[in-house]
């Protein structure tokens, strides 16, 4: 690509950081995707962005798909390319968006892995033998009790926890949306135990979950602690924080059959996202049908 095209790409990334206030993860992903797209242009002797047509973008995505890149990654790459052209069109440096109508290949939707109630009980009732394990049990109980995302749990501050009302407030959920969630008795008891021994680096540290040094516990540390806990307790399956969230949603749906309420608790913007749990729950529904429907019962 010509130097002017490279500069336009840098200007777009800068706009993402400053004006759009995109997350660091998004910025890095877009940078990586657009660098790869620029290399594709160089291989095909395309020197400026206006030389690209719908067919060139389609060819790039098709090549990536043949190399084994999944649908989700390709959708993000297309979003990065579309974003670049929207930026160029606003500055009147391009007249059309060649990525506008290019779609990533569809990928079969994978059902999330969950744990059954007995597995959850075995994991959470194993007992804590140290201050850090008391903290860990409180974290894992809260994941399962309230269906929190990893980033939501790590971002919790003391003011977000209301033990008297049995509620936790998520101020920065996905998409910047807040929501208030109930806490179960097990989670409340575990949190009370943790808060009595919680170390903090200073009185100004507001994080609910802190490290041994008294600073906020990061996402990666929480993931590692859950992994270590499972190994110590003899859980052979690879368990991650989101599996506890999936289990929360599945078990709640099994008991209530209230999809809208589960959507609200999970913080899903669209109910179609929540509906994936109805697939997990199909066997339960089938059992209920067999037992309850007058024409379903088998006769000898």
Residues marked active site are found at: 149, 174, 242, 245, 268, 277
Q: What are phi and psi of 276, to 5 degrees?
A: -60, -30
Q: For the purposes of burial, counting CB atoms within 10 Å of the CB of 117, is it exposed (0-12), middle (13-18) or buried (19 or more)?
A: exposed
Largest CA-CA distance found in the chain, in angstroms, rounded: 80
228 Cβ neighbours under 8 A, 6+ residues apart: none
CA gap 12, 34 in Å, rounded: 10
- DSSP character for 162? E
Cβ distance 101 to 54 under 8 Å? yes
Pick the closest to residue 116 from 250, 236, 10, 25 (CA basis).
250
């Amino acid at each position: 690509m010509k130097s002017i095209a490279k500069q336009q790409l840098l200007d777009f990334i800068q706009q993402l950081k400053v004006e759009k206030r995109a997350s660091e993860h998004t910025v890095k992903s877009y940078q990586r995707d657009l660098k790869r797209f620029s290399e594709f242009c160089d291989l095909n002797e395309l020197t400026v962005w206006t030389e690209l047509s719908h067919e060139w973008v389609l060819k790039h995505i098709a090549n990536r798909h043949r190399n084994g890149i999944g649908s989700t990654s390709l959708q993000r790459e297309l979003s990065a390319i579309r974003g670049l052209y929207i930026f160029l069109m606003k500055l009147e440096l391009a007249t059309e968006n060649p990525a506008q109508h290019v779609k990533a290949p569809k990928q079969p939707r994978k059902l999330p892995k969950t744990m059954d109630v007995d597995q959850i009980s075995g994991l959470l009732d194993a007992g804590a033998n140290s201050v850090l394990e008391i903290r860990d049990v409180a974290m894992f109980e809260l994941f399962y009790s309230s269906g929190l995302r990893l980033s939501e749990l790590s971002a919790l501050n003391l003011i977000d926890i209301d033990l008297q009302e049995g509620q936790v407030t998520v101020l920065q959920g996905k998409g910047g949306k807040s929501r208030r969630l109930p806490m179960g008795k097990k989670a409340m008891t575990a949190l009370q135990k943790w808060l009595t021994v919680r170390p903090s680096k200073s009185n100004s540290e507001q994080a609910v979950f802190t490290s041994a040094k008294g600073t906020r516990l990061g996402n990666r540390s929480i993931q590692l602690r859950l992994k270590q806990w499972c190994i110590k307790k003899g859980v052979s399956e690879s368990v991650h924080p989101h599996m506890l969230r999936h289990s929360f949603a599945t078990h709640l749906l099994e008991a209530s059959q209230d999809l809208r309420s589960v959507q609200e608790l999970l913080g899903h913007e669209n109910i179609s996202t929540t509906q994936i749990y109805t697939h997990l729950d199909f066997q339960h529904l089938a059992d209920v049908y067999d037992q309850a429907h007058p024409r379903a019962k088998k006769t000898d």
